[in-house]
């Protein structure tokens, strides 16, 4: 099962990297239908990849523990924060975060994978689903 996560993550990572390579600063400021800009959506992805990486580091040290997360409050904070990050730094953060979590997922033990899945948070293994959702939104906006 872990190999499925790894393969899907690789596909969406390549898609993300192609998008990042072609974005202009003007495109980063375009607004999606949900009110977020392309920049804030990318910062959202970078944050959640970074958050997932931090979770894995803790889980590998002390075992898996399910925790509740206040997603909406976090997303709102990230949206505000994203407006202060210069475009080049934002793009570097998005890429570095995505690559780092994908590397971490590739090295997760079968026991930890099973615990994460049993805990109902396989989305932290399958980063591709989250990336794909937001990449679809951004690409649709850029095509319009």
Distance CA 56, CA 108 (A): 8
Percent over 70 (pLDDT), the chain: 100
Residue 1 has pLDDT above 80, yes or no: no
Whether the full predicted model's pTM is greater than 0.85, yes or no, is yes
pLDDT (tens digit, 9 = 90+) per residue, 65-124?
888 888 888 888 888 888 899 999 999 999 999 999 999 999 999 999 999 999 999 999
Q: CB-side exposure of 8: number of CA atoms within 13 Å?
A: 17
Say which CATH number the domain at 44 has.
Answer: 1.20.120.450
User: Which of the residue ranges 10-14, 62-66, 69-73 has the most confident prediction, judged by mean pLDDT?
Assistant: 10-14
User: Do residues 64 and 119 touch, judged by C-beta distance below 8 A?
Assistant: yes
**Domain that residue 30 falls in:** 2-143
Distance CA 56, CA 49 (A): 11
How many structural domains comprise the chain? 1
Angle between helices 38-62 and 87-106 (to 10 degrees): 30
Q: Supply the pLDDT for residue 96.
A: 97
């Amino acid at each position: 099962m872990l190999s499925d996560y790894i393969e899907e993550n690789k596909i969406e990572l390549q898609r993300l990297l192609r998008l990042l390579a072609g974005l202009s600063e003007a495109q980063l400021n375009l607004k999606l239908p949900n009110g977020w800009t392309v920049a804030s959506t990318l910062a959202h992805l970078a944050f959640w990849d970074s958050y997932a990486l931090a979770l894995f580091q803790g889980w590998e040290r002390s075992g898996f523990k399910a925790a509740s997360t206040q997603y909406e409050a976090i997303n709102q904070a990230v949206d505000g924060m994203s407006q202060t990050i210069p475009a080049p730094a934002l793009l570097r953060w998005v890429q570095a975060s995505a690559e780092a979590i994908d590397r971490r997922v590739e090295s997760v033990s079968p026991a930890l994978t099973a615990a994460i899945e049993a805990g109902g948070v396989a989305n932290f293994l399958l980063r591709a689903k989250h990336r794909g959702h937001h990449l679809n939104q951004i690409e649709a906006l850029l095509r319009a």
